[in-house]
Amino acid sequence: MLDIKFVRENKDKVKKNIKKKFQDEKLPLVDEVIDLDQKIRELKIKGDSLRQERNQISDEIGALFREKKIEEANQKKQNVSKINEQLIDIEKEETELSENLKSKMMIIPQIIDDSVPIGKDDTQNVENERFGEPIVPNYEIPYHAEIMESFNGWDKDSAGRTSGNGFYYLIGDIARLHSALLSYARDFMIDKGFTYCIPPFMIRSDVVTGVMSFTEMDAMMYKIEGEDLYLIGTSEHSMIGRFKDQIIKPDTLPITMTSYSPCFRKEVGAHGIEERGIYRVHQFEKQEMIVICNPEDSMKWYEKMWKFTVELFRSLDIPVRTLECCSGDLADLKVKSCDVEAWSPRQKKYFEVGSCSNLGDAQARRLGIRAKGEKGTYFLHTLNNTVLASSRAIIALLENNYQSDGSVLIPKVLQPYMGGKKIIEKKN
């Protein structure tokens, strides 16, 4: 959410930013919020003037009572009552206008960074850099679900009976590989100096609206019936929410944390062969990283964070690339974002395995996350990045380490988490 003062003083810049995001239907909001802000400020001035008048009359009433001028004092008390009635009406109108202002402000997108490429949707995202040589072996690589089945490693049919579409059981070596990936990702980030955390897996609505846009919330979140609680779609939600309404000491910055959680997502509209395995599911597990820092440091952390994910996947012998998200593909709270994509030798293309985002002060402003420095209180910047999402990491690992005999090599860094096991072999 932008600062209304910024909108007031930079109306043309805010409108230009909306156009860059191809959201022209939101252009009228800019003039609407400026008009609402003007009315609210006028009401505040009027209210302050009435309070000053009331205080002055109250002093006069006190003096009249001391002089035993009871009738005159009572007449002035009637004036105070009228002022109080006016103030009640003003405060009510001010509250209504402020709520309307806030609801509109929360729809206006964050100002994107100048480096973000302009494009209408994800088809116009821009490849930045490749890491590792994408290899296509001279033998066929099966669909990842078929690879897991060959190890007796998953059961989708039973999950369909217990939970419906989009769920699965992982079994045996595949289940162990799943846990090994998450444990390795956890330790990888701890070694980078991040503090490990396991957060709540449900959050209240005021935290949800603090960390994401209404559009994202409707598309992703599962609501707990009869409760003001939502299942998290990523641990970033509750990790950032932890600092809601806090004033953080500058000498504790930056806050760098890595968190584990299950993730629950509606994934509305998913379809096609790639969606029938574990690529796009309602439940998976993830290791995440979040950073809360001073505004001047956020871009430095953005660069560090996506590089950590690249380094992790390269240590698993998986080629990756980074893809810069264009303006039209950026969620409204994001200043800049890139995806990390892993190579799929079966599909002969890359697919998303993580996303790194700088949200500027958008989440901090919504949630009241501030620091107090020499020049006063200011909003901090928040960033998040996927270290490893379990389901997609498994797909990338299986495909890139699949052998012609149907076995899968276990990368060296994962072997300690697999009890020293170096290879997963087909089951009879």
Domains of the chain: 4-105 (1.10.287.40), 122-424 (3.30.930.10)
Residue given tokens 């480096």 in the structure block: 115
- What integer pLDDT is reported at residue 272 of this predicted model? 47
Instruction: Locate 277 and state its tokens.
Output: 């395995």
Distance CA 295, CA 299 (A): 8
At 117, list the tokens. 């490429």
Q: 3-state DSSP: the chain helix, strand, coil percent, rounded to 5? A: 50, 20, 30
Contact between 185 and 309 under an 8 Å Cβ cutoff? The reply is no
The two most distant CA atoms of the chain are separated, in Å, by: 107
Is pTM beyond 0.85? Reply is yes
Token pair in block for residue 195: 């503090």
Q: Look at residue 387 and give its three-state secondary structure.
A: strand
Q: Which helix (H) or strand (E) holds 286?
A: strand 283-293
> How confident is the model at residue 174, as a pLDDT?
97
Report the alpha-carbon distance of residue 360 to residue 1 in Å, rounded: 10
**Whether the bond into 254 is cis, omega within 30 of 0:** yes
What does each of the 428 residues of the chain score in pLDDT, given as a tens digit?
899 999 999 999 999 999 999 999 999 999 999 999 999 999 999 999 999 999 999 888 888 888 888 888 888 888 889 999 999 999 999 999 999 999 999 999 999 999 999 999 999 999 999 999 999 999 999 999 999 999 999 999 999 999 988 899 999 999 999 999 999 999 999 999 999 999 999 999 999 999 988 777 878 899 999 999 999 999 999 999 999 999 999 999 999 999 999 999 987 554 444 456 888 899 999 999 999 999 999 999 999 999 999 999 999 999 999 999 999 999 999 999 999 999 999 999 999 999 999 999 999 999 999 999 888 999 999 999 999 999 999 999 999 999 999 999 999 999 999 999 999 998 86
**Whole-number pLDDT of residue 275:** 53
Q: How far is 383 from 298, CA to CA, in rounded Å?
A: 7
